Amino acid sequence: MSISMSIAGLLARARLLNRDLAPGEPLAETVIRPLAALPEAAAEPEPYATENGSPTDRLWELARDATRLRAQPGATEGLIEATAALQHLACLFAEDADALAARIAELADIQADLETRIDGALDGPYLVTNATKITNWLGEPIQTFPQMALCRCGQSATKPLCDGSHARHGFSGAKDPDRVPDRQDTHEGVQVTVLDNRGICAHSGLCTDRLSTVFRQGEEPFVAPSGGRSDEIIRAVRACPSGALHYAIDGLKGPDPVREPKIEVSKDGPYRISGGIPLDGDDSREHYSLCRCGHSRNKPFCSGMHYYVGFVDPPLSDEPTLFEWAGGLPALTRMTHIFYDKYVPQDDLLAPLFARMSPDHPERVAAWLAETFGGPKLYTEQYGGYDHMIAEHAGKSLTEQWRARWAQLIGRAADDAGLPTDPEFRAAFAGYIEWGSRIAVENSQPGATPPPHMPVPQWWWVCEARPGSRVSALSPAADQTQIRLPAPDEPVRFTDHIRPLFREMDRKSMSFAFDLWSHSDVTEHADAILDRLRGGKMPCDGAWPAEHIDLFARWIAEGTPS
CATH no. for residue 434? 1.10.490.10
Query: Does residue 154 sit in the same domain as residue 215?
Result: no
Helix H segments across 93-186? 97-110, 165-169
Query: Does residue 509 sit in the same domain as residue 416?
Result: no
**Residue 208 CA to its chain's centroid (Å):** 21
Strands ordered across the beta sheet of 193-197:
184-187, 193-197, 245-249, 252-253
pLDDT at residue 470 in the model: 72
Query: Does residue 207 sit in the same domain as residue 129?
Result: no
Stretch 45-62: mean pLDDT: 81
Residue 478: pLDDT over 60? no
Stretch 143-160: mean pLDDT: 96
Residue 479: pLDDT over 70? no
Range of the domain at 95: 3-169
Which of 433, 464, 495 is the C-terminal boundary of a domain?
Answer: 464
Stretch 150-155: mean pLDDT: 97
Whats the size of the chain, residue-wise?
Answer: 562
pLDDT at residue 355 in the model: 86
Query: Does residue 21 sit in the same domain as residue 137?
Result: yes
Determine, yes or no, domain membership for 175.
no
Encode pLDDT of 325-372 as tens digits: 999 999 999 999 999 999 999 999 999 989 888 889 999 999 999 999
Determine, yes or no, domain membership for 473.
no
Stretch 197-226: mean pLDDT: 91
Please tell me the total count of domains within the chain.
Answer: 4
Query: Does residue 161 sit in the same domain as residue 201?
Result: no
Residue 80: pLDDT over 50? yes
Determine, yes or no, domain membership for 459.
yes
CA distance 151 to 156: 6
Q: DSSP string of 380-424? A: HHHH-HHHHHHHHHTT----HHHHHHHHHHHHHHHHHTT----HH
Query: Does residue 73 sit in the same domain as residue 159?
Result: yes
Stretch 301-326: mean pLDDT: 90
Determine, yes or no, domain membership for 133.
yes
pLDDT at residue 3 in the model: 42
Query: Does residue 8 sit in the same domain as residue 118?
Result: yes
Encode pLDDT of 489-513 as tens digits: 899 999 889 998 988 777 777 776 7
Task: Calculate the average pLDDT of the chain.
Answer: 91
CB 403 within 8 A of CB 441: yes
Residue 44: pLDDT over 70? no
Instruction: Give me Rg for the CA atoms of the chain.
Output: 28
Encode pLDDT of 434-460 as tens digits: 999 999 999 999 999 999 899 999 999
Determine, yes or no, domain membership for 271.
yes
Phi-psi region of 431 (alpha: psi -120 to 50; beta: other; left: phi over 0): alpha
Residue 167: pLDDT over 80? yes
Query: Does residue 386 sit in the same domain as residue 331?
Result: yes
- Report the candidate in 555, 562, 322, 509 with the shortest Cα–Cα distance to residue 425: 322
Q: How many CB atoms lie within 10 A of CB 245?
A: 22
To 5 degrees, how large is the angle CA 205–CA 207–CA 211?
Answer: 125
Encode pLDDT of 463-474 as tens digits: 878 887 776 777
AA identity, residue 511 = S
pLDDT at residue 505 in the model: 75
Out of 78-82, 91-95, 318-322, 472-476, which region has the weakest mean confidence (pLDDT)? 472-476
Q: Are strands 147-150 and 126-129 parallel, antiparallel or unpaired?
A: antiparallel
Encode pLDDT of 391-430 as tens digits: 989 999 999 999 999 999 999 999 999 999 999 999 999 9
Query: Does residue 25 sit in the same domain as residue 162?
Result: yes
Which of 250, 284, 308 is the C-terminal boundary of a domain?
Answer: 308
AA identity, residue 19 = R
Per-residue confidence band for 290, with pLDDT thresholds at 50, 70 and 90: very high
| Between residues 479 and 466, the one the model is more confident about | 466
Q: How many CB atoms lie within 10 A of CB 277?
A: 22
Determine, yes or no, domain membership for 316.
no
pLDDT at residue 370 in the model: 97
Query: Does residue 361 sit in the same domain as residue 448?
Result: yes
Give me the helix-helix angle, 423-443 and 400-416, nearest 10°.
150
Determine, yes or no, domain membership for 500.
yes
CA distance 499 to 479: 18
Encode pLDDT of 242-257 as tens digits: 999 999 999 999 999 8
User: 500: which strand partners?
Assistant: none
pLDDT at residue 457 in the model: 94
Dihedral sign (CA 370, 373, 374, 377): positive
- Report the candidate in 425, 498, 499, 508 with the shortest Cα–Cα distance to residue 471: 508
Query: At a CB cut-off of 8 Å and minimum separation 6, what does 99 contact?
Result: none
What Cα–Cα distance (Å) separates residue 159 from each residue in 120, 162, 333?
Answer: 16, 7, 25
Determine, yes or no, domain membership for 317.
no
* Residue 388, phi then psi, degrees to nearest 5: -70, -40
Buried b or exposed e, range 377-389, using 16+ CB within 10 angstroms:
ebbbeebebbeeb
pLDDT at residue 1 in the model: 45
Stretch 230-235: mean pLDDT: 90
Query: Does residue 301 sit in the same domain as residue 431?
Result: no
Query: Does residue 280 sit in the same domain as residue 218?
Result: yes
* Residue 136, phi then psi, degrees to nearest 5: -85, -175
Alpha-carbon dihedral of residues 426, 432, 433, 435, nearest 10 degrees?
A: 140
Which of 277, 308, 339 is the C-terminal boundary of a domain?
Answer: 308
Global pTM reads 0.80
